[in-house]
Structure 1
Amino acid sequence: MSESSRVQLKKILVSRYAYLVKRLERGTGSKDGATEALHETWLRLENANVAAPVANADAYILGMANHVAIDQHRSERRHRHEEDVDALLELPDELADPERIVAARLKVETLKGILRGLTPRRRAILLAARVDGQLNREIAERFGISLRLVESELSAAMKYCLEHMHELGDPHAGSRSGPRKF
């Protein structure tokens, strides 16, 4: 961009500043965001590189300021997300009291014992589905069996585990929720 074009655009930005802020305020949602975008636009005009003369200075400045506002929004969102993650990592884990930890470990050991009571294929199908999150179709291919047989084995394995957990007094034994993709 020629020096005269830069000077002219800067003069227009200064003379029409209030109008440009109002126009940008609609897009940014705040007057502060609009003024920040225009200030950054002023700085970017110094390095702008446009060979042809600018026909509509307002449109050029507003377009440039809109791009600046979008960049600022993305940057703030990224930083805000990082700050949120840092804040969440600082929160104490209310569920990590020693009593709950011991109870959870005991439940895992109990479930391991129940799983040992399953046939090897049934146990492998259950673990592939519920732990590894494999699709029934993938399990059928892996074991060289029909999809129907996978569904049957998985259902039988779940029923077996739920019944044994219930017998051992687990109050959540009726729950079948878990990560599954069919």
Structure 2
Amino acid sequence: MSDSGFKGLRDLLTRSYADLKRRLTLQLGNADLASDALQDIWVRLETHKDTPEPVQHPLSYLMRMATNSALDKIRSEKRFLRGEEVELIFESMSDPAPGPEQVSQARSESERLLLAMEQMPARQRRVLTLIRVDEMSRQEVADYLGISVSLVDRELKRAHEFIVEKMR
């Protein structure tokens, strides 16, 4: 390259723009990002007036500059939330208290659960209550009821299946 300064790189960028954009688009998978990256390096070359070190492979140098610019842009955009994500956050913060419909539905489901538990065999209900409400371990429940841990597991499984069936 006869003129290896920034002016020479800008001229090469202008002459090879279509080829650089095509190569960058293939590399990045996004034509808009490729265009933005090439624009960024053109501006960077335009703002530097001093003479850089001689560049042996100016086209490769421009590709590397554009690739680095695109990667910087990708990294900076990942720091921000998308519009839909911001909306979801605001919606979740808008009113944390349940509305009348949600309260009514929760009461109805609670009543159905209590009814299902009343219909459940006594030992299953006892095992379920000790494990889920009283937060006892399976071994503690087995010792408390005088049964084996495997029987506790079977009764708990049956209790869960019973509730799932009744809640449908």
Alignment TM-score, normalising by the size of structure 1: 0.54
Distance in 1 separating the partners of 2:163 and 2:57: 73
Distance in 2 separating the partners of 1:147 and 1:12: 78
Structure number with bigger Rg: 2
Closer, same or farther: CA 99–31 of 1 in aligned 2, 3 Å: closer
Deviating more after overlay: 51-60 vs 108-117: 108-117
* Structure 2 residue matching 1:54: 3-state secondary structure: coil
* Structure 2 residue matching 1:87: 3-state secondary structure: helix
* Per-residue Cα deviation, 1:5-43 (whole angstroms, up to 9, x for no partner): 444433322332232122222234454322211111234
Task: Give the counterpart letter for 1:70 in structure 2.
Answer: L
Equivalent position of 1:136 in the other structure: none
* Structure 2 residue matching 1:55: 3-state secondary structure: coil
| 1:123 equivalenced with 2:129 (yes/no) | yes
* Per-residue Cα deviation, 1:145-166 (whole angstroms, up to 9, x for no partner): 8874553242132145346xx3
Closer, same or farther: CA 64–112 of 1 in aligned 2, 3 Å: farther
Equivalent position of 1:176 in the other structure: none
Are 2:138 and 2:153, in contact at CA under 8 Å, matched by a contact in 1?
A: no
Equivalent position of 1:106 in the other structure: 108
Equivalent position of 2:157 in the other structure: 155
Closer, same or farther: CA 140–63 of 1 in aligned 2, 3 Å: farther
Equivalent position of 1:135 in the other structure: none
Closer, same or farther: CA 97–54 of 1 in aligned 2, 3 Å: same
Distance in 1 separating the partners of 2:162 and 2:31: 63
Q: CA RMSD in A?
A: 4.3
* Structure 2 residue matching 1:60: 3-state secondary structure: helix
* Structure 2 residue matching 1:108: 3-state secondary structure: helix
Instruction: Report which of the two has the higher share of helix.
Output: 2
Are 1:24 and 1:34, in contact at CA under 8 Å, matched by a contact in 2?
A: yes
Equivalent position of 1:56 in the other structure: 57
Task: Give the counterpart letter for 1:87 in structure 2.
Answer: E
For structure 1, the residue ranges without an aligned partner over 5 or more in a row are 133-138, 173-182
Distance in 1 separating the partners of 2:56 and 2:100: 71
Distance in 2 separating the partners of 1:62 and 1:113: 70
Structure 1 vs Structure 2: percent identity of aligned residues? 30
Equivalent position of 1:85 in the other structure: 85
Distance in 1 separating the partners of 2:13 and 2:152: 69
Task: Give the counterpart letter for 2:157 in structure 1.
Answer: S
For structure 2, the residue ranges without an aligned partner over 5 or more in a row are 93-97
Are 1:126 and 1:158, in contact at CA under 8 Å, matched by a contact in 2?
A: no
Closer, same or farther: CA 14–159 of 1 in aligned 2, 3 Å: closer
**C-alpha deviation, 1:60, in angstroms:** 1.8
* Per-residue Cα deviation, 1:30-83 (whole angstroms, up to 9, x for no partner): 543222111112344568xxx96432111121122122223334444654x431
* Structure 1 residue matching 2:105: 3-state secondary structure: helix
